[in-house]
Each structure stands twice: as structure tokens, then as C-alpha cells.
Amino acid sequence: MIIAHVRFPLPAGTDRAQAQKMFQDSAPKYREMAGLIRKYYVFDAAAGIGGGNYVWESRDAAEAVYNDDWKAMIRDRYGAAPEITYIETLVIVDNQRGDITST
């Protein structure tokens, strides 16, 4: 399992409500996306940063989505190219399910 941390500067002056609206508008396109387990939209008001933490089945699945067209869409929508960091997930503590698993 891979986590992709994606971040990008938001247009100047974007507040929480505006960011939430932008994110809600884009959320449906990620439903049932091949290889995507979960996506968390993130917002840092102080830094003016938006993005997402994506949980993917594999890095290959993530990289299939983060192609040049996707990067251009992010650039067009938010005004800046995204930065992507990949982090391998080794152990998961899931308090909702009450378990700990290794991947």
C-alpha cells in the first residue's frame, strides 16, 4: 500500500469554505477510481496550501493517475503544479475496526 501526499498552493486568499467547495466539486471524479482506496482532502489556511492524502493499492496505480493530463488539470484548477511525495505503508492501526495490520 502506498500513500501519496499531494500538495499545491491555492489561489491567494482562498479560505476554508472556498477550498471545501473546490474539493467537493472534484470529489466525484475519484469515486471508484482504479486502485484508489481512500482520499483525504487537506487544507492549510496559514500556508495557503491545499492537496490530498491518497491511499493507493500500489505506486503503479497512483502513477497511472498522476500523468501529465492530471497535473495540467491541477495547474489549471488551482494555479500551480502539484508536488507529490510517495510513502510506503507498512503497518496500519485502525481504531474504528479495532485492529492492527501489516501490509
Instruction: Please report the domains of the chain, with CATH numbers, ordered by start residue.
Output: 2-102 (3.30.70.100)
Nearest to 78 by CA among 10, 6, 7: 10
This prediction's pTM = 0.88
pLDDT-wise least confident of 32-36, 44-48, 74-78: 74-78
Classify burial at 72, counting beta carbons within 10 Å of its beta carbon; exposed 0-12, middle 13-18, buried 19 or more. exposed
Q: What is the pLDDT of residues 47-86, one digit of tens each?
A: 999 999 999 999 999 999 999 999 999 899 888 899 999 9
CA dihedral 48, 9, 62, 23 (to 10 degrees): 60
Query: In the 8-state DSSP scheme, what is residue 30?
Result: G
